[in-house]
Amino acid sequence: MGRVVVIGNAGLDLRLAVPRLPLPGETLIGSDAARAPGGKGLNQAVVAARCGAPVRFCAPLGNDHAQADDVERHLSAEGFDALILPRLPHATDFSLLMVLPGGENSIVSTSACSLALTVADAEPALCDVAAGDVVLLQGNLALDVTAELLAIARRGGATTIFTPAPYWPGAERLMDGCSLVIANRLEAEALGAAIDRADAAIVTLGADGCRFDGRLYPAERVAALDTTGCGDVFCGVMAAALARGLAIERAIGAAQKAAAITATRAGAFAALPAREELGAILAG
């Protein structure tokens, strides 16, 4: 089995259920407030580790010790092969998740801490990557840093997965360094024809499933409660499945099953499938 290296962001999620999105100038009352560790990088790394893959996770935390220590405490319980969590002179990033009836969500995130991560900060995570390893990055880091990390991973022979979320203009320049791009409908539209420069691409379509190599893979049918984190679960399972040597079609099926479980639960971190659930999916 290859290793999974995830380099991205880690922070806190603040979740509110709302009847609708607020209008300009309006104060709207939310309910079911919750606080948990989060961030796309963190969620994807935790899922990959729960799949049984050896995972190395690198993400910056801030100098606000209470928040950063809380995130690190949760990560230390997940059984990572290695945690590389540089403390940078910024506040730890956080996201505000507004969840609508029916499960759709809107998210606003800070990114000063993740954008401050340098190549030097992250290089220890890539020091010995080799063929069979999978390196997974998201759109949270500075584009030039992401480009260099993808290049280092490719030179080592690793499979590189990039998911351009959040999308930054200029992300299309990274496609040449990607073995696999995983983008949702909006991100794929923003990337345009550039997405074809990646070795392969999966476009996720929410409840409609995903599209790969001209084929539609229907989603698992569930009664969605909260779709927050579904994309992260999909990416984390894909990385772990490919590191285990699964064919990409089988990896997609496993990732869709895991994402469907997540959609039936509230929150992001709290909704991530357990080790036993992910083990059963991959075994099947």
Query: Residue 171 sits in a domain of what CATH number?
Result: 3.40.1190.20
pTM score of the predicted model: 0.94
Q: How far apart are the first and last CA of the chain?
A: 17
Task: Give the pLDDT confidence score for residue 104 in this predicted structure.
Answer: 82
Q: Is the dihedral of CA 212, 254, 151, 149 positive or negative?
A: positive
Regions of the chain with pLDDT less than 50: none
- Rounded Cα distance between 56 and 96, Å, is 27
Task: Give the pLDDT confidence score for residue 227 in this predicted structure.
Answer: 86
In a domain, 213, yes or no: yes
In a domain, 61, yes or no: yes
In a domain, 214, yes or no: yes
In a domain, 82, yes or no: yes
In a domain, 36, yes or no: yes
- Rounded Cα distance between 137 and 160, Å, is 8
Beta bridge partners of 55: 4
In a domain, 25, yes or no: no
Joined together, the tokens standing for residue 276 give 């036993």
In a domain, 284, yes or no: no
Nearest alpha carbon to residue 47 among 223, 211, 239, 187: 239
Task: Give the pLDDT confidence score for residue 7 in this predicted structure.
Answer: 98
Structural domain boundaries, residue 216: 4-20+31-279
In a domain, 206, yes or no: yes
How many structural domains is the chain composed of? 1
